[in-house]
């Protein structure tokens, strides 16, 4: 069953397991690539998945494509740098601090953070500002579930996310291209939307370092740089937080960064996209990356050209 035009992701719309298994026979898990056998892949242990949510009928990208073509500037600016260098990152033990305007701030081991929730596999489109895209089977939990657990107060109007700062293991952080550590943010209603998840895996197995291990944000209606990787802190704040790419070039990277074919503030044309492994931008870019029916109401009355 394909979920279409739903205002929310409801349990009644979750793909039936028998249909899901037949779908897997159709798309089939890709064979693990040579790069996936490197230390960057971690132990790649299987995850216990309770629900499967399909939001697109487009072909899922292969494991090799998803794990070998990445933006993760902490390891370098070339798309192959994360797979090449991320193996040196130690992701266990890992602690995520949740604080700010909330009643229950705490430091969580990542295992304890996700333990109360059932893991879901979600097939999402992923669109990057450089005009390339993939379809990825993420495994994770709703971000809203984690945020509610912290009991945010009425002062919490935005959520700030911070990536690990460890230049000894993340060589890209030795380059001052960004003001490290990497920070990103969402408005509270965006963060609480059911499409936003914290991912801990891909293709039914634990997340690889180059894809943001051990825990990362996935916000499918926004450009990829909004989906913070290797998160160490989630903070409730009362004003729009500074974000890494907006600080670096505010005329190119706005805070909202919703996928919008009509706005091209960077040097790439955003009206079309290149679906990997294709070589050319032959696909028309969809407003909100195709998730407009679910998320457009959050931006009613906003000038989406000004607030890009």
**68 with 84: CB under 8 angstroms?**
no
pLDDT > 90? residue 121: yes
Two tokens at 115? 């333990």
CA–CA gap between residue 21 and residue 108 (Å, rounded): 34
Q: What is the average pLDDT score of the chain?
A: 89
pLDDT band at 43 (very low <50, low <70, confident <90, very high): low
pLDDT > 70? residue 282: yes
pLDDT band at 49 (very low <50, low <70, confident <90, very high): very high
pLDDT > 70? residue 183: yes
Mean pLDDT of 139-153: 98
pLDDT > 90? residue 93: yes
305/120: higher pLDDT: 120
Please give the angle made by the CA atoms of 183, 91 and 237, to the nearest 5 degrees: 25
185 is a domain residue? yes
CATH number assigned to the domain comprising residue 51 = 3.90.420.10
How many domains are there within the chain?
1
41: domain range?
11-299
Residue 298: predicted pLDDT:
98
CA–CA gap between residue 118 and residue 86 (Å, rounded): 28
Q: How far is CA 219 from CA 35, 142, 179, in A?
A: 26, 11, 22
pLDDT band at 267 (very low <50, low <70, confident <90, very high): confident
Residue 46: predicted pLDDT:
95
From 3-7, 32-36, 73-77, 273-277, the region with the lowest mean pLDDT: 32-36
Mean pLDDT of 18-34: 34
**225 with 86: CB under 8 angstroms?**
no
Residue 44: predicted pLDDT:
81
4 is a domain residue? no
- Supply the DSSP string of 180-192, one letter for each residue: SSPEEEEEHHHHT
115 is a domain residue? yes
From 31-45, 130-144, 262-276, the region with the lowest mean pLDDT: 31-45
């Amino acid at each position: 069953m394909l979920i279409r035009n739903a205002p929310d992701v409801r349990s009644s719309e979750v793909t039936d397991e028998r249909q899901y298994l037949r779908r897997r026979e159709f798309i089939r898990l890709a064979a693990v690539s040579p790069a996936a056998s490197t230390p960057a892949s971690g132990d790649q242990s299987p995850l216990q998945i309770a629900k499967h949510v399909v939001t697109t009928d487009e072909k899922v990208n292969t494991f090799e494509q998803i794990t070998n073509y990445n933006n993760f500037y902490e390891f370098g600016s070339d798309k192959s740098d994360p797979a090449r260098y991320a193996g040196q990152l130690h992701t266990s033990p890992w602690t995520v601090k949740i604080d700010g305007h909330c009643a229950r701030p705490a430091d969580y081991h990542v295992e304890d953070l996700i333990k109360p929730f059932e893991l879901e596999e979600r097939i999402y489109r992923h669109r990057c500002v450089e005009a390339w895209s993939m379809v990825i089977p993420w495994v994770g939990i709703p971000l809203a579930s984690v945020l509610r657990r912290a009991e945010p107060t009425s002062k919490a109007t935005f959520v700030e996310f911070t990536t690990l700062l460890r230049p000894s293991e993340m060589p890209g952080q030795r380059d001052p291209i960004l003001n490290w550590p990497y920070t990103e943010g969402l408005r509270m209603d965006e963060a609480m939307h059911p499409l936003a998840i914290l991912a801990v895996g891909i293709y039914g197995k634990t997340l690889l370092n180059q894809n943001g291990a051990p825990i990362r944000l996935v916000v499918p209606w926004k450009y990829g740089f909004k989906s913070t990787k290797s998160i160490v802190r989630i903070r409730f704040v009362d004003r729009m937080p500074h974000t890494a790419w907006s600080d670096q070039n505010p005329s190119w990277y706005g805070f909202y960064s919703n996928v919008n074919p009509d706005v091209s503030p960077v040097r790439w044309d955003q009206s079309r996209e290149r679906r990997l492994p294709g070589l050319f931008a032959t696909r028309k870019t969809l407003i909100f990356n195709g998730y407009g029916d679910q998320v457009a109401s959050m931006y009613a009355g906003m000038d989406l050209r000004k607030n890009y």
